[in-house]
Amino acid sequence: MAAHLKKRVYEEFSHVVQIPQEEAPAKKLRLSKPSKSAALHIDLCKATNSTDALQYLLQFARKPVEVDSVEGVVRILLEHYYKETDNSVRLKIASLLGLLSKTQGFRPDCIVDDAINTLNNEKSHQVLAQLLDTLLVIGTQLPESPAVRQRLIEMACKHLADTYFGVRNKCLKLLGFLGTMDTSLTKDSEGQGTSSGGARDVQTIISDYFGDQEPRVRTAALKAMLQLHERGIKIHEIIYDQACRLLSDDYEQVRSAAVQIVWVLSQLYPESIVPIPSSNEEIRLVDDVFGKISHMVSDGSWMVRVQAAKTLGSMLQVSPHFLEQTLDKKLMSDLRRKRTAHERAKELFTSGEFSSGRKWADDAPKEKLDTNTVNLIASGACGAFVHGLEDEMFEVRIAAVEALSQLARSSASFAEKCLDFLVDMFNDEIEEVRLQSIHVLREISTHITLREDQLDTVLAVLEDSSRDIREALHELICYTNVSTKECIQLALLELLKNLNKYPTDRNSVWKCLKFLGSRHPTLVLPLVPELLSTHPYFDTPEPDMDDPAYIAVLVLVFNAAKSCPTMPALFSDHTFRHYAYLRDSLSHLVPPLRLPGNGLDLVDSRCGSGSVESAQLFLQQSLNRVSTIQNLEAPGAQDLLNFTIRDLQRLGELQTELAGAADFCATYLRCQLLLVKALQEKLWNMAVPLCLKQNVTATAAAQQILEETYKLEFLYSGLESRQVATIHHVRLQAKALQLILTARSRQGLDPLISSCEKFLLDIESFQRLFLAELPHLEDSFVDKLLELLPRLSSCKPVELVKILQSTLRQSGLLQLPLPEQIHRATATIIEPTGESDNPLKFTTGLVVALDIDATLEHVQNPQNTVKVQVLYPDGQSHVIHPKPGDFRKPGPDRHRLITQVYLSHSAWTEPSQIEVRLLLGYSSSSTSLSSSSPASKLGWSDSMDGLPPPEVAVEGTIPFSKPVKVLIMPKPARR
Amino acid sequence: MPEIKVTPLGAGQDVGRSCILVSIGGKNIMLDCGMHMGYNDDRRFPDFSYITQSGRLTEFLDCVIISHFHLDHCGALPFMSEMVGYDGPIYMTHPTKAICPILLEDFRKITVDKKGETNFFTSQMIKDCMKKVVPLNLHQTVQVDDELEIKAYYAGHVLGAAMVQIKVGSESVVYTGDYNMTPDRHLGAAWMDKCRPDVLISESTYATTIRDSKRCRERDFLKKVHESIERGGKVLIPVFALGRAQELCILLETFWERMNLKAPIYFSTGLTEKANHYYKLFITWTNQKIRKTFVQRNMFEFKHIKAFDRSYADNPGPMVVFATPGMLHAGQSLQIFKKWAGNEKNMVIMPGYCVQGTIGHKILNGQRKLEMEGRSTLEVKLQVEYMSFSAHADAKGIMQLIRMAEPRSVLLVHGEAVKMEFLKGKIEQEFSIDCHMPANGETATVLTNPSVPVDISLKLLKREMALGGPLPDPKKPRTMHGTLIMKDNSLKLVSSEQALKELGLNEHQLRFTCRVQLQDQKPEPETLSRVYTHLRSVLKGSSVQLLPDGTVMVESILIKVSSSPEDPDTKTLLLSWSYQDEDLGSFLSSLLKKGLPAALC
């Protein structure tokens, strides 16, 4: 063997001077196979005692084994297994067998027999359990072989009677993973006198072990049943009673698994009827299960409680009657019925009198209760959520809140009922729970109208010092319906108070009022005179236009006025003036109004609902027009491009919905235009030595196109692979241009050769990436290049450049297909505002923290890509990666970055401005198509570990927010 | 039948002076040793003469267990241990051990120094008493002696409150002390595993109450305080120094933090400072939130709550003051109240129950003009609010604990008789278990059915295993044959052969015989064969043989037929079986007594 190999190696060396890279590992692989298993064999033989052998095995397990040598290794291991007397070594071998059969590409059917054989001869229980585990691995590796499966199942059934719990556990697991519906098994293999014999299916066998004496086996049996369910096998209803009995097991893991299985049954057979014990009534199974699981919400173990609370949320088929019981908790005091605080609040509200504070006997119990009717341990669902929401562990409370939200979303009446409880949760001691309940309330807010007292409680949270809570609450108020004008007034008052206390909430509060106004125009109407403090006879002083509180009021009023045409009549003169000002400065908050005698009608009609389609049409037409350009050198082509770009830009400004698409197209066309210009320059006709100077513009153009293509690719979301291919195509053209320019600059041959190689690699990767898109790129630059690729790769650089030049000049404009949804990533820095004249003073050499608050829209994975850049006046710049925890996600496609950047500098004599802006980082290796792939995630998790992110290809950043200037003043340290 | 006896010396159908005697498996245990707040005479302390008329208690009690530091659970401890005389171990949890002496000392000061009582325990006695204390950890099993073991569970209620499981052999009693099933701002909920005690001694303060959600009350409380502060008013919260005060402090502290409030909160000093120190130390006994966040910040290190000084009461601007005592009957809280009562912007919040006659009770009932000492009247203009923050389990909570522990019987203490009656009925109805409610000095006896552990020889067990399936089925009891030997105070189950060998006895066979008269005209052999065919048709499962010597063998049972010459028609069947086949034998005899079926004739 070795001699033969040697010969081959010599042969190869004599043949070709350059060894192809791929050959080397292939050879290694061939050599390694015998050596690996042989080494193991020798090691194992060398081992004098079991500890040594174990050591060798452990070392061996650390290294991966190639696919083709697996079988050999397995044989050696098995051989050693038969000889080995020590249990621990056999155990390790058994586990290694399982590991090895997991090797990708290895089919373990060849070792099934051996594994089963060893199983039959094994005496040690631990090893047996491990071997069964191995069999499970083998079984899962061979999903399509029923014969093997059948044999494995038989083995499992045989060992189910083992006295060691571990073996029974593994057998049940095996049955769960491999058992099928049709496998009917005979269990009379042992002569234990059970005359029942006969065919029994897997489910019956597993359910027999629901009553095992060992809790771990009971758990395993339940889990196996769940596994069967997960694999799509329908579980029989017969096990329901058994499963229910396990709900009161002594062990928490059994109860937890039982909750799951009972839930599964309720989903499978919701409508079947079960009797209530100790009465002759019958109820639906799903209701029965709901009652039982509700009971588990007051279990002794919090794990079970979490499980139960979570499960409740997904039982949507339950009857409303049962559902509402979960919120029921009859109060009594000294045997007399007492109303809950919720009921009292409601009563006060309905009686028209607002709560005046509590009196000593306010909650004095009313009617005397009949002792027989008071049910202390409420049967069934009673008060499950009341318990869950008051639980000691916040995990249970969160689970209960989530369950409430799920149930409330499907049932409006339940939503109404659970409102009080959710509102109560706003006062939880753990912020997470508070936040969660606010979110939940927002989700179900379509179903509900808040009463005044409830709103009062909700609004009290506005003073919370946590920004997250406040913003969540603003979001909630955006979506809530309130019932009376007092509510609106109350909300406005509280929001203004909030604004006063936390001025940074300005935008959020305004937005909130915008929705509040547009939702309740009729409720705002009677409040208008008061809000604007107008008086029928007297002129009131004009309020300060810069007062955020006044703006807030105006936002509320204007938005209400949008759908309430009578309102503007109540406005005073300065209100109209302020409207015009705000409409201009805060156009996203102030809607266009139909005001009498105002020229603003025009704007209104243009922004009508039909205009989106027409704008869309216009966009499409513009693109079509451009596509008529066949030859880029045609005389009118440049003008047409210029005009189209201008049109598109304007369109983007006018129609915010289409801004992304229009911008995208315009940028693309600009690239084309640049390319055309670069190619049209006369320099191409000149002799090389003469055109050194003109090169500059063309080089700049090529550079700019490259940059633009990166912007196109990474700044816009919603791109399809067609567009990405087109963008890459343009980039390729730009690179070709660069290459030609390099060639012309005559800087020597070596750089040219390397850049030629690079270019060829680029073409190849383009081909690889966009194989599916190639048919669409017919007749394009790339298409032609690919045709010529065999020739290109073998020809000399100079020749290549010539070919490129001609193809480039011949290639036409590639039409850009308009994607469905395209959005440009934008970022706005809210804080710092850049308006402050007070410099941030700090001592030189120390750091100062600058709070940054920005909203990001349409940014995917902001945690990876968004960076903060700080530019100092001396040209120094720092890029700061915000922590992933600094990003919040208030809505779809929207992120919020709230972070602190640390600044430091040596002493300045006077305050000076630094610039802060946000950058979008990209790396060309990950196209925007695969930006959400695990690869990028990996990069992130790497950086979590403190490693630098892997350097790949071109890394760059695109500034995508307006820079904000901040005055800072580092002072020299005083001594 | 072994029994467990429970005798309350205090807290039987009553609240206060908790002291319960339990005798279980020959051990006597005293659970709690409290005083009664309502009395100042001998009735203040439990009647220890019930245990012994003269002499020390040490020889009558195996141990004393204190559930928590409230004086109605530990107030009589120095009296009992030092003045009556007890030298055995006293068990309590670490926080209780730390805080208990502070309260006892305070109690002593008030009684001796203020009221001028004599013949009361001294500071030294408290110290000596505390020296006898053995601290307990949660879920730690402590062997008091070889047989008696105790184990503490978390009870909520106050810092360090514990429920105790007392176990002798397989008999056990759980004493809950005071407990709380709903978590609050600083403590978690009581928890117990399914320990299935023979008796669960539970408090029943709120036997007939189901309380509203804690959150509502908290929210109301915070809202009231907040509104008042925003108006610029001053809020007075009279509290007792320990327990609820800490809960309210945490509540306000977190609220201040959340809402970014600036108004000062004061806590009138005194023993609270010492106690707060212990709250800081025993973080493990608090609730999830405090336990989890104490690394960043110990919640009991209050940022907003500062020590109160008498002069602060006149400071302008809003403030919140916690002041003792809780019923406004004396001390600092009353002084502050007098100062602030005139302003309607101010507010007083009573967080607990007030005894009749106190100012607290009067103002809660809406009295607006108070007569003070010295004939002066006080106009009450400030707002009066009542907020109940009680840390006892309500009826639902008690039921929940019973469900958790699954006891064989329940015994109610620490509650009013009428209310107990109701709960007793409920417990009996819901769980169908016995429920007792003895009055003070009355003994409740609970019969137990303890399982007796017996050693079994492995050989016998294996032999029996071989007969049945490989696995014992826990659901079905199985009978087995063996001999029980009681020797040297131990029980052993061995096979009969071995027992004979060990005892040096000979084996005796015991056989039963029985005659059955049968009317049959046929000759004997024919009768026999008919019996044979009959038995074969009836006993399908077992072997029935017709032996050539004129007998039928069913398993090991012999059947012979004989007839007397006088009456040839009346045949006598002789049945004979050994003791082991008693079941089958008696079945056969009754079967044959019915006669042979006609079909065979």
Neighbours of A168 (CB within 10 A): 26
8 Å CB contact of A392 and B364:
no
Which chain A positions have a beta carbon within 8 Å of B188's beta carbon? Answer: 392
Structure tokens at A360: 């000593």
Beta-carbon contacts of B589 under 8 Å, excluding residues fewer than 6 positions away, are: B514, B516, B575
Phi, psi angle pair for B495, to nearest 5°: -70, 160
CA dist B326 → B102, B187, B234, B377 (Å): 18, 21, 17, 22
Residue closest to B340 by CA, chosen among B363, B305, B314, B362: B314
8 Å CB contact of A341 and B419:
no
CB A692 within 8 A of CB A750: no
Q: Cis before residue B325, ω within 30 degrees of 0?
A: yes
CB B472 within 8 A of CB A213: yes
**DSSP E strands: which ranges in A555-661?**
none
Structure tokens at A7: 């010969």
Report the first-to-last Cα separation within chain B, whole angstroms: 56
Mutate to test the interface with A, among B210, B286, B297, B368 (most CBs of A within 10 A): B210
Which chain B positions have a beta carbon within 8 Å of A331's beta carbon? Answer: 210-212
Identify which of B211, B223, B469 has the shortest CB distance to residue A460.
Answer: B223
Please report the pLDDT score of residue A949 as a whole number. 37
Give the type of residue at B579. Answer: Y
Give mean pLDDT, residues A56-84. Answer: 80
Reported as a pLDDT band with limits 50, 70 and 90, residue A204 is: confident
Structure tokens at B244: 């609820």
Instruction: Give me the helices (H) in B552-601, please.
Output: 582-593
8 Å CB contact of B193 and A428:
no
Residue B471 contacts A where some CB pair is shorter than 8 Å: yes
Give mean pLDDT, residues A263-267. Answer: 91
Secondary structure of A770-820 in HEC code, one letter for each residue: CHHHHHHHCCCHHHHHHHHHHHHHHCCHHHHHHHHHHHHHHCCCCCCCCCC
Residue A236 pLDDT exceeds 50: yes
- Nearest-Cα distance to chain B for A116, in Å, is 23
DSSP 8-class letter at B137: -
Residue B131 contacts A where some CB pair is shorter than 8 Å: no
Residue closest to B177 by CA, chosen among B206, B195, B202: B202
Scored b (16 or more CB within 10 A) or e, A7-39 reads eeeeeeeeeeeeeeeeeeeeeeeeebbeebbee
Give mean pLDDT, residues A634-661. Answer: 79
Beta-carbon contacts of A584 under 8 Å, excluding residues fewer than 6 positions away, are: none
Beta-carbon contacts of A361 under 8 Å, excluding residues fewer than 6 positions away, are: none
What does the alpha-carbon distance between residue A22 and residue B374 come to, in Å, rounded to a whole number? 108
Which chain B positions have a beta carbon within 8 Å of A192's beta carbon? Answer: 469-470
Reported as a pLDDT band with limits 50, 70 and 90, residue A13 is: very low
**Model pLDDT for residues A745-771, shown as the tens digit of each residue:** 666 677 777 888 888 888 888 887 777
Please report the pLDDT score of residue A929 as a whole number. 43
Map residue B138 onto helix, strand or coil: strand
CA dist A897 → A355, A509, A871, B203, B261 (Å): 41, 18, 19, 54, 27
pTM of the complete model:
0.74
Please report the pLDDT score of residue B78 as a whole number. 93
Which chain A positions have a beta carbon within 8 Å of B422's beta carbon? Answer: 335, 371
Mutate to test the interface with B, among A382, A429, A456, A490 (most CBs of B within 10 A): A429
Give the type of residue at A624. Answer: N
**Model pLDDT for residues A90-123, shown as the tens digit of each residue:** 888 888 888 888 877 777 777 888 888 888 888 8
Burial (Cβ within 10 Å: 0-12, 13-18, ≥19) of residue B91: buried
> How crowded is the C-beta side of A674, counted as CA atoms within 13 Å?
24
**Model pLDDT for residues B148-177, shown as the tens digit of each residue:** 999 999 998 889 999 999 999 889 999 999
* pLDDT over 70 percentage in chain A: 79
Residue B365 contacts A where some CB pair is shorter than 8 Å: yes
Q: Tell me, yes or no, if B203 is annotated catalytic.
A: yes
Q: Which residue of B has its CA nearest to A330?
A: B210
Residue B574 pLDDT exceeds 50: yes
Beta-carbon contacts of A596 under 8 Å, excluding residues fewer than 6 positions away, are: A568
Structure tokens at B111: 């009684």
**Model pLDDT for residues B264-299, shown as the tens digit of each residue:** 998 876 666 777 888 888 888 888 888 888 888 888
Residue closest to B12 by CA, chosen among B434, B363, B441: B441
* pLDDT over 90 percentage in chain A: 5
Beta-carbon contacts of A506 under 8 Å, excluding residues fewer than 6 positions away, are: A499, A548
Supply the Cα-derived Rg of chain A in whole angstroms.
Answer: 37
Reported as a pLDDT band with limits 50, 70 and 90, residue A45 is: confident
Structure tokens at A166: 């571990």
Reported as a pLDDT band with limits 50, 70 and 90, residue B126 is: very high
CA dist B287 → A392, A929, B312 (Å): 7, 48, 33
What does the alpha-carbon distance between residue A601 and residue A595 come to, in Å, rounded to a whole number? 7
Neighbours of B269 (CB within 10 A): 15
Q: Is the ipTM of this complex over 0.90?
A: no
Find residues 225-244 of chain B whose CB sits inside 8 Å of chain A: 226
Please report the pLDDT score of residue A662 as a whole number. 83
8 Å CB contact of A161 and B215:
no
Give mean pLDDT, residues A462-477. Answer: 85
Find which of A257-271, A333-347, B313-327 is predicted with most confidence, using mean pLDDT.
A257-271
**Model pLDDT for residues B484-514, shown as the tens digit of each residue:** 888 877 888 888 888 888 888 888 888 888 8
DSSP 8-class letter at A957: E
Which chain B positions have a beta carbon within 8 Å of A194's beta carbon? Answer: 469
Structure tokens at A581: 């000002």
Going by their DSSP bridges, the two strands B199-203 and B171-175 should be labelled as parallel
Reported as a pLDDT band with limits 50, 70 and 90, residue A52 is: confident
Torsion, Cα of B499, B503, B508, B510 (10° steps): -50
Identify which of A332, A457, A466 has the shortest CB distance to residue B210.
Answer: A332
Residue closest to B11 by CA, chosen among B28, B42, B34: B34
Find residues 441-470 of chain A whose CB sits inside 8 Å of chain B: 457, 460, 463-466
Residue A168 contacts B where some CB pair is shorter than 8 Å: no
Scored b (16 or more CB within 10 A) or e, A378-411 reads bebbbbbbbbbbbbbbbbbbbbbbbbbbbbbbeb
Which chain B positions have a beta carbon within 8 Å of A193's beta carbon? Answer: 469
Residue A826 pLDDT exceeds 50: yes
Which chain B positions have a beta carbon within 8 Å of A250's beta carbon? Answer: 194
8 Å CB contact of A424 and B219:
yes
Q: Which residue of A has its CA nearest to B215?
A: A424
Mutate to test the interface with A, among B208, B297, B345 (most CBs of A within 10 A): B208
Please report the pLDDT score of residue B77 as a whole number. 93
Give mean pLDDT, residues A477-501. Answer: 88
Reported as a pLDDT band with limits 50, 70 and 90, residue A954 is: low
Which chain A positions have a beta carbon within 8 Å of B419's beta carbon? Answer: 334-335
Count of pairs with CB atoms under 8 A, one residue in A, one in B: 135
CB B71 within 8 A of CB B107: yes
**Angle in degrees, CA A296, A298, A302, rounded to 5:** 85
Please report the pLDDT score of residue B470 as a whole number. 52
Identify which of A213, A358, A427 has the shortest CB distance to residue B218.
Answer: A427
- Which residue has better confidence, A364 or B428? B428
Please report the pLDDT score of residue A33 as a whole number. 42
Residue B378 pLDDT exceeds 50: yes
Identify which of A194, A335, A394 has the shortest CB distance to residue B288.
Answer: A394
**Angle in degrees, CA A310, A315, A318, rounded to 5:** 140
What does the alpha-carbon distance between residue A325 and residue A318 come to, in Å, rounded to a whole number? 11
